[in-house]
Amino acid sequence: MNRKYRLKRILIIGPIACLTFAISGQAQSLPEGKGRADFQRICGTCHSLARATSQRMTRGQWTRIVDDMVSRGAQGTQDELNNVMTYLTTNFSNADAAAGVAKAPAPAVNEKPLSEAEIARGTELLTVKGCLSCHLVGDTGSYVGPDLTTIGARRSAEEIRTALVSPNKDVTPENRGIQLTTADGKTVTGRLLRHDGFSVQIMDSNSQLRSFQKANLRKFEIVTTNPMTSYANPLNAQELTDLVRYLSSLKGNEKP
**Angstrom distances, CA of residue 213 to CA of 68, 217, 225, 237:** 20, 7, 24, 46
For residue 52, the model assigns a pLDDT of 67
CA distance 13 to 253: 54
Q: Could you tell me the maximum CA-CA distance found in the chain, to the nearest angstrom?
A: 86
Contact assessment for residue 178 and residue 221, using Cβ atoms and an 8 Å cutoff? yes
For residue 23, the model assigns a pLDDT of 41
For residue 46, the model assigns a pLDDT of 63
CA distance 130 to 71: 32
CA distance 28 to 47: 16
Full pLDDT tens readout for the chain, 256 residues:
544 444 444 444 444 334 343 344 444 468 888 888 888 888 776 666 666 676 777 777 777 777 767 766 677 787 888 888 888 888 887 644 444 433 444 444 456 788 999 999 999 999 999 999 989 898 899 888 888 998 888 888 999 999 999 988 877 666 778 899 999 999 999 888 877 778 888 888 888 889 999 899 999 888 878 888 899 889 999 999 999 999 999 987 655 5
Which residues are CB-neighbours of 251 under 8 A, at least 6 positions away? 150, 152, 153
Beta-bridge mates of residue 214 = none
DSSP of 55-121: ----HHHHHHHHHHHHHTT----HHHHHHHHHHHHHHS--HHHHTTPPPPPPPPP--SPPPHHHHHH
For residue 126, the model assigns a pLDDT of 93
The dihedral built from the CA positions of residue 225, 226, 228 and 232, taken in this order, carries a sign that is: negative
Does this model's pTM top 0.75?
no
Which residues are CB-neighbours of 16 under 8 A, at least 6 positions away? none
Contact assessment for residue 140 and residue 237, using Cβ atoms and an 8 Å cutoff? no
Structural domains of the chain sorted by starting position, each given as residue range(s) with its CATH number in brackets = 2-98 (no CATH), 116-170+229-248 (1.10.760.10), 177-223 (2.30.30.100)
